[in-house]
Amino acid sequence: MFKLVWGIIALIIISGIATCIFLLKYHKTKGNPIIEKVTIPIIIALTCAFLVCCAGLKLGDPVTFISGLLNINTPSPMPSQAPSTLTPTPVIYTEPTFEKRTSEKFNYTIDCPSNFVLEGGLDQDEEDDFNLTSADREATLNFTARYIDGELPDKFTIDTFRRTYGGTELYREDLLERDGWYVISTKTFDGYYHYRKCIFTNGIVRMYTFSFPTDQEDIYLTNYDYVSHIENSFIKLN
pLDDT digits (tens, 9 = 90+) for 11-70: 676 776 666 666 556 555 556 666 566 666 666 666 766 666 666 556 555 555 455 544
Q: What is the pLDDT of residue 78?
A: 66
- Supply the pLDDT for residue 62: 53
CA atoms within 13 A on the CB side of 173: 8
Highest mean pLDDT of the ranges 44-48, 116-120, 165-169? 165-169
Main-chain dihedrals φ then ψ at residue 20, nearest 5 degrees:
-65, -45
In sequence order, what are the beta bridge partners of 113?
A: 98
Between 99 and 86, whose confidence is greater? 99
Q: Please tell me the predicted confidence (pLDDT) of residue 41.
A: 67
SS (H, E, C) the chain: CHHHHHHHHHHHHHHHHHHHHHHHHCCCCCCCHHHHHHHHHHHHHHHHHHHHHHHHHHHCCHHHHHHHHCCCCCCCCCCCCCCCCCCCCCCCCCCCCEEEEEECCCCEEEEEECCCEECCHHHCCCCCEEEEECCCCCCEEEEEEEECCCCCCHHHCHHHHHHHHCCEEEEEEEEHHHHCEEEEEEEECCCEEEEEEEEEECCEEEEEEEEEEHHHHHHHHHCCCHHHHHHHHCEECC
Q: Report the CATH fold assignment for 98-236.
A: Protein Transport Mog1p; Chain A (3.40.1000)
Report the amino acid identity of residue 213.
P
Average pLDDT, the chain: 80
Angle formed at CA 208 by CA 190 and CA 158, multiple of 5 degrees? 70
Q: Let me know: does 233 contact 203? Beta carbons within 8 Å.
A: no
Q: CA 157 to CA 144: how far, in whole Å?
A: 13
Q: How many CA atoms lie within 13 A of 146 on its CB side?
A: 13
85, amino acid identity? T
Enter the pTM of the model. 0.61
Cα distance between residue 231 and residue 208, in whole Å? 9
